[in-house]
Amino acid sequence: MRIKFQADADLDGRIVRGLRRVSPEVDIRTAAKAGLATLEDYEVLRLAAAQMLMERIISPLPTIRESDPRAI
């Protein structure tokens, strides 16, 4: 099985281009190519479940209160 990588919309495009240049055998897709650029992070994670998600975190993750329906 070949590992596929899905770049998050926040990942600098220079990283993807550099990776493709030095390791063309790596299968990596940009968020724009995958139609994921406008989606929320939780939706991207759901859709990319079978792929490795490479993400550069720009800001800290928000705190989810226990009363929030997204809280586990």
pLDDT in tens, 11-48: 898 999 999 999 999 899 898 998 888 988 888 777 76
C-alpha–C-alpha distance, residues 8 and 31, integer Å: 6
Q: State residue 64's pLDDT score.
A: 59
Does the pLDDT at position 66 exceed 90?
A: no
Identify which has the larger pLDDT, 2 or 60: 2
Number of separate helices (H) and strands (E) present in the chain:
3, 3
Give the count of beta carbons closer than 10 Å to the beta carbon of residue 3: 9
Whose tokens are 């790596």? That residue is 26
Does the pLDDT at position 53 exceed 60?
A: no
Identify which has the larger pLDDT, 49 or 24: 24
